[in-house]
């Protein structure tokens, strides 16, 4: 049985994949695993292999804080947070890099609420 927030997170992942046309079954599996494990879950706006692999590492079980100075703001800008835990991590990562963002902005960016 899945909870409301799990269902919303998976719907956000599906919407991001449709929007950015960058689905990959192994990346999707790791993303769903992160969602079901109540860990930060991510998708990416990018089609670049490096950005997708970075997103996959985050979903596999590494937090943004474990990357010290990386990722850059440009890389952070490609991340689509799919749940509240990811929004919180992303907000901290931006703040540490001197670019504070509001949680509401991060929670709704890159996805159209009507698609979810």
Q: pLDDT tens digits for 13-70?
A: 999 999 999 999 999 999 999 999 999 999 999 999 999 999 999 998 777 877 766 7
Distances in Å between the Cα of 15 and the Cα atoms of 10, 68, 101, 114 are 9, 30, 23, 10
pLDDT at 113 (0 to 100)? 52
Q: Which residue has the tokens 């890159």?
A: 110
Q: Which residue has the tokens 């409301």?
A: 4
Mean pLDDT of 5-18: 92
Domain residue ranges of the chain, discontinuous segments joined by +: 4-115
Taking the model in full, what pTM does it have? 0.87
Q: What is the pLDDT of residues 91-116, one digit of tens each?
A: 999 998 899 999 999 988 766 655 55
Q: Which residue has the higher pLDDT, 114 or 6?
A: 6
pLDDT at 1 (0 to 100)? 44
Q: 15: burial class by Cβ within 10 Å (0-12, 13-18, 19+)? A: buried
């Amino acid at each position: 049985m899945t909870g409301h927030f799990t269902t919303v997170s998976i719907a956000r992942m599906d919407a991001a994949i449709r929007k950015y046309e960058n689905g990959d079954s192994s990346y999707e599996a790791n993303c769903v695993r992160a969602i079901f494990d109540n860990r930060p879950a991510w998708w990416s706006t990018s089609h670049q292999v490096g950005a997708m692999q970075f997103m996959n590492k985050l979903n596999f079980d590494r937090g943004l804080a474990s990357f010290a100075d990386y990722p850059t703001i440009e890389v952070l800008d490609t991340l689509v947070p799919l749940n509240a835990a990811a929004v919180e991590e992303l907000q901290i990562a931006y703040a540490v890099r001197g670019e504070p963002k509001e949680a509401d902005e991060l929670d709704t960016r890159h996805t159209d609420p009507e698609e979810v």
